[in-house]
Amino acid sequence: MTEETRHELVKKAMDMRKFSYTPYSHYRVGAALLTKNGKIYGGCNIENAAYTPANCGERTAFFKAISEGEKEFEAIAIVGGPESGVVDYCPPCGVCRQVMMEFCDPETFEIILAKNRDHVKTFTLKELLPLGFGPADLEK
């Protein structure tokens, strides 16, 4: 992936934070998911008074893409922090990692965590979910 594409994903993830619905935690997360064919899907977290029906920004981006027929993904950028601004890296929760495992190659799928354009850390899905359980495990 080019540095330009990485920056574009981080910018989109940062922009998506403004759409977050976070009246309870006040913690806004934006995500930008890159498909293998170069399309970018944005997502944000959406909270609910009952808590359990809440949805993370990463899953919002995945579900939008999948609902439009996409099934092959290259990378996701994630930016999160309090409403006042991003102060640290925001890794995906376990549920989001499991959704990624369903649709992504853990060896090559990149998870880009950013505080801003200049402070970025990149991991593979396998690094963040080393013993992930996915569709291939059901074929054994």
CB 31 within 8 A of CB 16: yes
Q: Is 8 a catalytic residue?
A: no
CA distance 96 to 61: 11
Task: Locate all alpha helices (DSSP H) within the chain, ordered by sequence.
Answer: 3-16, 57-67, 94-103, 125-128, 135-138
Q: What type of residue is 106? A: P
Q: Tokens for 66?
A: 């999948």
- If we measure between CA atoms, which residue out of 82, 90, 81, 83 comes closest to residue 120? 90
Of the residues 58, 74, 102, 139, which is catalytic? Answer: 58
Q: Could you list the active site residues?
A: 58
